[in-house]
Structure 1
């Protein structure tokens, strides 16, 4: 479907040649309408025939309502689109008719040909992705264009020459009033049309205030008002029944919940999400970047947006992309949408991409989804031909899972869909598409023009309370105030459910929450769900064995967290988890037994059963299932990383205390394996959890152990362990291990002096430069961010972890690094330029220093560097003006920069131009000197600089400037 129609195209769609209203209108226009030859002369004829034109246009719109039922969804949308185009033009000519100004045309005038042709203009269509006011502003611009074009056409006619000044002013005024009145009349006509066709209200993103309904029931209400009343085909009825069955499904399976807990259904518990709406208006739109969304308003009328989008022509040209974090409810949204859309209007095909064979084409993915839904083989073409007027809506759920599991780039996936939509429409089989994905996976994804991108937002306080109202109606109440103490968990639907399930066991969450730290809460939550999984095996256990099994279950989860942390990724593949479990915990070894003396499961059978773990799947052509794992909330993984590190450290201390006195060095191979692949400083939550663990630990003994491990770091290693999550050079691993030992020492001691670390100042410099040379730039930046190093008169230097929580910018990394490395020369230079950098930033500061060190006759490149520096324009003018007329190459500077300087009232500019004038330099046409001289008294310099006033008077006299002062 065309995104916009012209008036010509619109009237043909609404009736065609045989429609009596169009036939009458064509007669008014001399037969040019249906021939497609309307031009400006027919517009001018309307000055005489406009009452007939307005009447016939309104009749055409009225006749539309007779055909609003019993047509396909596509046909209904197409006619509404055309009706809107007719309405746009009708409003303008109605507004002009109200002015009661008649233009009488002569035969000579009628023979003139004008270039502007409003009948072929593509008339704007309201877009649901923009606010009502924005859509009106577009129409306002169109009406201004029409008024200007008509006036321009009339001014070229003999009629204009016969008008006196009063008549010309009256015509101008009539067109101006018509322009303003047209917008008002347009709104009146749209309101009338929307009374017959409710979807039009949602094209304008107008919320009707249906606040009493939830779970997208308001969307269902709206679309039932706009239904075509066609009887859905049998297949669609079957599909609709399956989709609506999801509304009666409990949020989680009964087997996954404690005894006595009642789980609300999806229809009862689903809370319509808040969202942000972005549009691919230009290539600068990057939905994967959080900064892209900073200025985008948050909306809570998702039903209204969807009603407008799904019934509008814009939906037929590009897919709707729905983004959200893991656990934000993307898949649930697609289930709700499929359940709420009327089968008479929409043929929904919901495809779970994780279940489609990877590497298949788009059409094959859809057909695979159809087979899964209908349990029969059916081609996409055959399905489209049997929808009985319902518009197909293909929901492709889990694009991120497809990418994540296969590791194959699909940057043109949405472009492929848009191309497919265009081909379908050309064939007369249009379709809508919706794709869901995680935000971070969309980096590099190409978006078709004007793609609508919806980002699902976390719950706010009101939504948390609404969800808990449903939960509390069937379970022991969990006060919202208790859950809201942990917003990171409560704001995500799945994690809020996890909190509710945790509290439902024995209300310990409510009882203890005031005394629980974040780490303690995470520990209890994870232990509770680990216990539930362990006790599903009904074999008898002693309490000791149960505790051991729970602990080992948590160890396995920790290995998954380490697999991500040590690889620097957000998710990890199943084969990587399996390898890590074997290397760190010997999970696959039949000799490794715990608790009830039953063999442990492999990694793939352990991890997908927890609420806080998301398992992603994709199927290859050979039917091999590819899986990856990630945490619904990153903090779970960060807690488990800290927990595993701390457990290994405390276990090593216990082994160290029990070792033979003749053995000098503790065997730290396992600790080295864990801590030699990623810097602990790269994660603030990991550091925070480690600090929390340290509060209740035997700090002195642990600190002594870490000090000895650090002192022996350069000894030759007999083994680096079997654990290899990534391939790193030994020197890189040694650098990261020594860094992490220092971090652990700082966590245990708070502050370490040179003698605590056994390092001189020179040793510290060499160590930090070793880190810098071997660490990736991001990890070295985290060291600079967190390490606070100070010189000490008695103990040489001290190191501590700062409490800074800010983003590291490159310029501040450069400025702060000398303090960490104790580079005294760099620190001296840094202190000297700090005031300048603090005021202007490092890029401008560097340009200024370069400029100040450059002679005036060679300063052009330095000035250019300052001009191009980010933020440099704020100081450029001053530096440019002070270099004019002091003996440099003035002509060169004026030629390159004078046009870039606007009118200024600065003393610098006046003095520089006076110097140039006094040196006999010819001023260019761009010089502001004459303006400055005329208004010198307004700038307040006369009392401050009498010497300047005297020079200004002399220059004015020489330049022939009449002074006002």
Structure 2
């Protein structure tokens, strides 16, 4: 109240004393008297709020708003409390002064203070949950009233009603609060905005009109009573920013069409918004999963910009390429009313990246207006206007400079802190691609916004704007505008604003999307889009239809741009990279007279400069302009890679086909080798998906690729393209990438190949495959290796001597269960029992030190540690596939809870045990004990009954030597006792009687010491 009113009163002095602990000497100040004084002060103070806020800077204005809200919160509670107490007949409380104010001034657990909730409003720009606060304070107040004489004198019923004040006061206080807040909204635009935001939040589930152009933001923030128009540089900035609203969304579209202006064509984004904390990671899309999607961008931005939060830390706006981040800043700069705001839009790509923020702002003002002005002078020229700096393209700063900017947002926050200290409080909004949001530490008080893809309703709304602008133009050509149902059949493109414009432009040529049939695939769409745009750009420079060879030449250069990113394992590439790659591949030179006016452009600029689906980022650093290129949708680059590779291998196949047997052609695979020896194509699943769609299924093509594979590990003598080195790799790594890619392409062209086709004459081609696969695993990148594993279906086929592997490329590979008869070449009639030595397996896996082998050994360790000699011994039962001892034991264990599987699993387990030699052995002892223990558990669990108990379970192992095996004997006797007890309880109809003897089991395997993998001694006939 002192902050707003500037005067003194008995209540203000009393509260000052209460908060400082200096109440001695103050006479009794009853609650009702305090309430009356508070209401009179509130009415006097708030009534002139508009006048008191006039002419204040942004920070002081925010402090006044917080104070005004605090008064409303307190006054509403006082009024509600008085109303409820008087209804109970309490006219005077008769409490000590400190007791009467403690429930106001004392902090409560959590954010339960009145000041805390007022600060929440002013800082976060949203009406707080005032009911929760009032409930908390009312409960505290009701407890405070207990024991007061005024309450003790009431009847029992009324004393009970006093206890219930924590229920009645909050509802009454909320009504008073909302009533006073609506009165404040008439005096102050900020309160009107906050009320609108809160009302909108309560109706999120309702269907709202799709809004465009942020027009409502302008009307919300406008100062309708201001008679002073902006002047000087502010006027120039306002003119520059507002002019973009009347310009087309893009200048690079067809001149035959009427592209909507930015003011008409910008559809307000949907978004998610959240505060930050030390462990926040907004670069991960999973971090946003629990945040609600909002569609009130204009309200939220208006609310944020008039809150205190905007002045202390930057807002970070995130989105994917082509999502409209830059467009949002352009529209926001245009829509902020110039009489209340001073927007400055800074394209980080266009200012010196090494300059400090103030210099960058001043440079942006000069670029927009032609005026040179110092930042402090600009702000001081408009004391009532709140500065809003829009820093567009933090990701572009990273890409173009290649320099870490981890403290960038912290530097922005320090700039804001300095400006507050100087009385020039400023709001800052920073945009960035979501993928690089983790490249900078985010200040603790920052707000982060993530732009969402278009919804179906937004796609429809944008296409309605498109139809309004182009329907008559298209009708003259007997065409129709693109409709939402057709566009949404290509959702991944349609949900991004710039990609939706591309679809509309493409369809406008001949209603190509409308005419597409059901077999119109994603690959067909990308082929049509890219070819159409390449042809259109060529025809802009040369009259008449574009030559097909020129179109392919343009697309070939774009493909090299895509490879520049792919082979560097990045989503973008610098102009220097692209130029170097084109030169290294001998594609950089232009024809005589070509683009004479562009003779100073680099090969990279010439390759991509005409395609607006490639994002061109420029930044200036120490006076030098740096450029990077990125596809607006990553799938464009992935399609171009698959397309170019398919063209190259197809041309090689045709060249081989044209050669005669007398003069065989030498394969010129230099280009193909250069491009495919730096990364495995399987590193990105979309590339594999496109290859599966467009690579011809031709045996001739597959044979060519197999021929190239056969020499893929040889040293190459050609060095025509040795200058092409997008990333430093060893010779072994390049061999690995080259051979893996040839195998992948051959498997696609043949719709599956055999390992024997890859390796030719071999004693065992699976061993060759294993050795090559280990090379790939060790030399490919993580993405390449994992992509290869995830896209290859590998099936074991044939029997000795025709064992082979069938390799087929699929979108999602499935690994079949191992076939041990194939692995060990076991014939059904063969009595050999191979075994894999556990100690050797440990050494082998320890040598490779892979995560998969560590997990596998860790999982088997409890078993292999007890029965190391037989855990991995393979046993062939009549009519059954071979199985290891550990497999049989774990199958029985996993069947404990499944009555339908348990009988068969235990029959197999005891047959495996019965197959071993009766010679005593500790491993077999332990195995029998485990088997009987599992069987007892199965009986107790009810998944095995008496009739299901395997007959072999009652046999005496080791024949006549059974009595010498104490552990086995004890375990067997315990099992019989368990069964007897269960039968006695009525679980079984009869007590099982184990047989007194058993047939002699076959002898056990004899492990060989010379080899970790060796067939054991065949068992004797039973």
TM-score, length basis structure 1: 0.76
Number of aligned positions between the proteins? 815
Candidates 178, 187, 194, aligned match of 1:203: 194
**Paired residue secondary structure (2:360):** helix
CA–CA distance in 2 between the matches of 1:843 and 1:12? 70
Which residues in structure 2 correspond to 1:450-849 (within 5 Å)? 450-475=445-470, 476=474, 477-512=481-516, 514-538=518-542, 546-588=547-589, 602-621=603-622, 623-659=623-659, 661=661, 666-694=667-695, 697=696, 699-719=698-718, 721-722=721-722, 723-758=724-759, 760-794=765-799, 796-801=803-808, 803-804=810-811
Q: For residues 126 and 816 of structure 1, do their structure 2 counterparts lie closer, same or farther at Cα, with a shift above 3 Å needed? A: farther
User: After alignment, is 638-647 or 233-242 more displaced?
Assistant: 233-242
Deviations 1:325-380 (CA, angstroms, capped at 9, x unpaired): 11111111111111111111101111111111111111111111122223222111
Give 1:625 shift: 0.7
Q: Partner of 1:896 in structure 2?
A: none
Give 1:771 shift: 0.8
**Paired residue secondary structure (1:348):** strand
Deviations 1:120-167 (CA, angstroms, capped at 9, x unpaired): 8633144599897xx544x34433443454456566888888889777
Q: For residues 823 and 89 of structure 1, do their structure 2 counterparts lie closer, same or farther at Cα, with a shift above 3 Å needed? A: farther
CA–CA distance in 1 between the matches of 2:24 and 2:666? 96
Q: Partner of 1:960 in structure 2?
A: none
Which residues in structure 2 correspond to 1:890-909 (within 5 Å)? none
**Paired residue secondary structure (1:327):** coil
TM-score, length basis structure 2: 0.72
Give 1:746 shift: 1.5
CA contact (8 A) 1:561 1:640 kept: yes
Q: Partner of 2:105 in structure 1?
A: 117
**Paired residue secondary structure (1:122):** helix
1:16 aligns with 2:12: no
CA contact (8 A) 2:753 2:808 kept: no
1:55 aligns with 2:39: yes
Q: Partner of 2:267 in structure 1?
A: 271
User: After alignment, is 218-227 or 343-352 more displaced?
Assistant: 218-227
Deviations 1:942-965 (CA, angstroms, capped at 9, x unpaired): xx9999xxxxxxxxxxxxxxxxxx
CA–CA distance in 2 between the matches of 1:187 and 1:298? 27
**Paired residue secondary structure (1:443):** helix
CA–CA distance in 2 between the matches of 1:674 and 1:660? 28
CA contact (8 A) 1:194 1:200 kept: yes
Give 1:641 shift: 0.4
CA contact (8 A) 2:39 2:75 kept: no
Decide which structure has the larger Cα Rg and report it.
2
Q: Partner of 1:315 in structure 2?
A: 310
Which residues in structure 2 correspond to 1:88-167 (within 5 Å)? 88-100=73-85, 102=90, 117-118=105-106, 122-124=115-117, 125-126=119-120, 136-137=128-129, 139-150=130-141
CA–CA distance in 2 between the matches of 1:442 and 1:166? 61
Give 1:583 shift: 1.4
CA–CA distance in 1 between the matches of 2:601 and 2:362? 40
Please list every run of 5 or more consecutive structure 2 residues that lacks an aligned counterpart in the other structure.
108-112, 475-480, 825-833, 839-851, 867-893, 898-939, 942-981, 986-1022
Candidates 229, 234, 240, aligned match of 1:236: 234
**Paired residue secondary structure (1:387):** coil
Which residues in structure 2 correspond to 1:151-300 (within 5 Å)? 169-203=160-194, 205-206=197-198, 211=209, 214-224=212-222, 230-253=228-251, 256-280=252-276, 282-300=277-295
Give 1:405 shift: 0.3
Q: For residues 643 and 469 of structure 1, do their structure 2 counterparts lie closer, same or farther at Cα, with a shift above 3 Å needed? A: same
CA–CA distance in 1 between the matches of 2:182 and 2:100? 38
1:86 aligns with 2:71: yes
CA contact (8 A) 1:327 1:493 kept: yes
CA–CA distance in 2 between the matches of 1:229 and 1:78? 25
Q: Partner of 1:864 in structure 2?
A: none
Q: Partner of 2:871 in structure 1?
A: none
Q: Partner of 1:369 in structure 2?
A: 364
**Paired residue secondary structure (1:604):** helix
Give 1:318 shift: 1.2
Q: Partner of 1:325 in structure 2?
A: 320
Q: For residues 580 and 167 of structure 1, do their structure 2 counterparts lie closer, same or farther at Cα, with a shift above 3 Å needed? A: same
User: After alignment, is 80-89 or 112-121 more displaced?
Assistant: 112-121
CA–CA distance in 2 between the matches of 1:731 and 1:796? 29
Give 1:175 shift: 4.4
Q: Partner of 1:927 in structure 2?
A: none
CA contact (8 A) 2:274 2:449 kept: yes
Structural RMSD (CA): 4.1
CA–CA distance in 1 between the matches of 2:778 and 2:420? 58
Give 1:615 shift: 0.3
Q: For residues 94 and 242 of structure 1, do their structure 2 counterparts lie closer, same or farther at Cα, with a shift above 3 Å needed? A: same
1:402 aligns with 2:397: yes
**Paired residue secondary structure (1:727):** coil
Q: Partner of 1:928 in structure 2?
A: none
1:441 aligns with 2:436: yes
CA contact (8 A) 1:197 1:226 kept: no
Give 1:819 shift: 10
Q: Partner of 1:901 in structure 2?
A: none
